[in-house]
Amino acid sequence: MEISHRADDSCQNRFALPVDSEHKSTEFRLFSVAAPHMRAFHLSWISFFACFVSTFAAPPLLPIIRDDLNLTSTDIGNAGIAAVAGAVFARVAMGSACDLFGPRLASALLTLITAPAVYCSSVASSPMSFLLVRFFTGFSLATFVSTQFWMSSLFSSRVVGTANGLAGGWGNLGGGATQLIMPIVFSLIQHMGATSFTAWRIAFFIPALFQTLSAYAIFFLGQDLPDGNYSQLHKSGDKHKDKFLKVFYHAFTNYRGWILALTYGYCFGVELTVDNIIAQYFYDRFNVDLHTAGMIAASFGLANLFSRPGGGILSDFVSKKFGMRGRLWTLWIVQTLGGVFCILLGQVGSLGVSVAVMLIFSVFVQAACGLTFGVVPFVSRRSLGFVSGMTGGGGNVGAVLTQVIFFRGSRYSTEDGITLMGVMIICCTSAIALIYFPQWGGMFCGPSSKGTTEQDYYLSEWTSAEKEQDFHSSSLKFSENSLNERGKRVRSAPTPAEGTPTTNA
């Protein structure tokens, strides 16, 4: 797989892949491990995959864990909520950490410090201790933010949707893979002579070790930016060390980030919810055995192999012709269809039809995740990490609210909860129509009649004093490299009479 958009650059020979003026790769070569671009891609998705496996290692074994720890349906619901609630604020904090210290250090540190919680899952002895280990393990899902930030820092705007979609999607595969991995590991340990109540505890050492190793790999093999790590660039003066309050302000006051956080809550948030409930749903409603329920549940998460990446690729594809407006329309259509199939999933009562509808639903809801992060990198250049964190945190908030409202206790049956969740998807997705970029337009409106350009939009985040010190140079380069978001078939803001400024790399 190779997606190519070449650009002239005087420093081209420094990198294995062609780059733009920011030294971001203009090609995405899936089977390459070239440093720093493709190496970071593979490190990021593998680490995120490991964290997903750890966080959702418990659900496929819940029928066994439930009997061992005497868990009630409320206990199980609370633990599922705790697993995704922990990452809400962690994702926002991770966004700030990426902006200030770089994705490599932020990701490696979080992955490493949450690994002990996975090890401790093996000694849980009560509903409360089970809830706590799931809560602290769930913090690791914040590595999603560093994954998306890292890809947006290393890949050009023309292929950033593809890079984000593949990294996020293949990381999310962990939610499906663990539905297969944990029952197999559990069975192998049982065959070696362990009782079922001992086997599930030993099984948790596998995801814990995987997560630990991935943290060390990122720290020692990764690189923050094409030109080096944040610490090196700060010391050399090649990168401005930004201030937290400035980063926070420009992210907090950009309403587009809040809308994407809301809508992401009902694509990725729904995915997290389904990862928590789907195995038990098929086990209880259709009376299938544990292994079969795990296989069905795994198929939902494993669709990320192509669905979320497909969303990112689709976002880049429509952008070529229709620019940012194409990205927004496609996101709305795909996510709304995901809501429709979610409603159908809750209504059908046949095992075969339910599995088929679930698979179609998984494709649309996961593709919407990839489409969302085809838009996120363009919301803010200065506060990219914080906006990514807000959006990612919104995904976890959506998961928490959905599980609290529809899947906690006995107020709704699981099938009714799934139906109502689909209605929520459709309603919340409509907010995408409110996103408007003055230089490109929105779903229903073209660009501003004032002639706002990419330079005007991205440089507005910097004061005159900061511009005099050349702190805005990265935003200037980004505005130049995002001209393609005007598209070829839509009316866009005019280029200034003096031309779009360029800077030497």
At 101-131, the pLDDT tens digits run 999 999 999 999 999 999 999 999 999 999 9
Average pLDDT over residues 191-211: 95
Instruction: Output the CA torsion 106→109→114→120 (10° steps).
Output: 180
CA distance linking residue 222 with residue 29, whole number of Å: 17
The Cα 400–Cα 268 span in angstroms is 11
- Average confidence score pLDDT of the chain: 89
CA–CA separation, 328 and 368 (whole Å): 11
Please check whether residue 81 is in contact with residue 55, taking contact to mean a CB–CB distance below 8 angstroms.
no
In this predicted structure, which of 36-40, 205-209, 492-496 has the lowest mean pLDDT?
492-496
Distance in angstroms (rounded) separating the CA atoms of residues 167 and 388: 14
Mean pLDDT of 377-387: 93
Q: What is the pLDDT of residue 9?
A: 44
Contact of 81 with 404, CB cutoff 8 Å: yes
Give me the torsion for CA of 85, 367, 421, 60, rounded to 10°.
-60
**pLDDT above 80 for 213:** yes
pLDDT score for 281: 87
**Ramachandran category for residue 7: left, alpha or beta (phi over 0 → left; psi -120 to 50 → alpha):** beta
Output the CA–CA distances (angstroms, integers) from residue 352 to 123, 179, 359, in the order listed: 38, 19, 11
Pick the closest to residue 278 from 302, 291, 297 (CA basis): 297
Token readout for 171 is 């990381």
Confidence of residue 502 (pLDDT cuts 50, 70, 90): very low
How many of the other CB atoms lie within 10 Å of CB of 497?
A: 5
Q: 473 is written with which tokens?
A: 């140079």
Structure-block tokens of residue 111? 């992955």
Would you say 381 and 475 are in contact if contact means Cβ atoms under 8 Å apart? Answer: yes
- Residue 94's pLDDT band, with cuts at 50, 70 and 90, is very high
Pairwise CA distance, residues 148 & 203, whole Å: 30
Q: Say yes or no to pLDDT of 6 above 70.
A: no
Predicted pLDDT of residue 179? 81
Q: Using CA atoms, how far apart are residues 280 and 413, in angstroms rounded to an integer?
A: 13
CA–CA distance, 104 with 221 (Å, rounded to integer)? 9
Q: What digits encode the pLDDT tens for the residues 128-148?
A: 999 999 999 999 999 999 999
Question: Looking at the domain 35-218+242-442, which fold is it?
Answer: Growth Hormone; Chain: A; (1.20.1250)
Tokens of 216: 């060390």
pLDDT in tens, 239-291: 888 888 999 999 999 999 999 999 999 999 998 889 888 888 888 888 888 77
Q: What is the pLDDT of residues 288-299, one digit of tens each?
A: 887 788 788 888
Residue 1's pLDDT is: 55
CA distance 380 to 356: 39
- How far apart CA 367 and CA 361 sit, in angstroms, is 10
**The predicted structure's pLDDT at residue 12:** 58
Residue ranges of the domains in the chain? 35-218+242-442
**Angstrom distances, CA of residue 2 to CA of 17, 30, 31, 290, 318:** 11, 7, 9, 40, 17
pLDDT value, residue 110: 96
Helices (H), 222-288: 230-236, 244-252, 255-264, 268-285
How confident is residue 11, by pLDDT bands cut at 50, 70 and 90? low
Going by C-alpha positions, the residue among 415, 328, 378, 402 that lies closest to residue 156 is 378
5 conformational bin, left if phi > 0, alpha if psi -120 to 50, beta if neither: beta
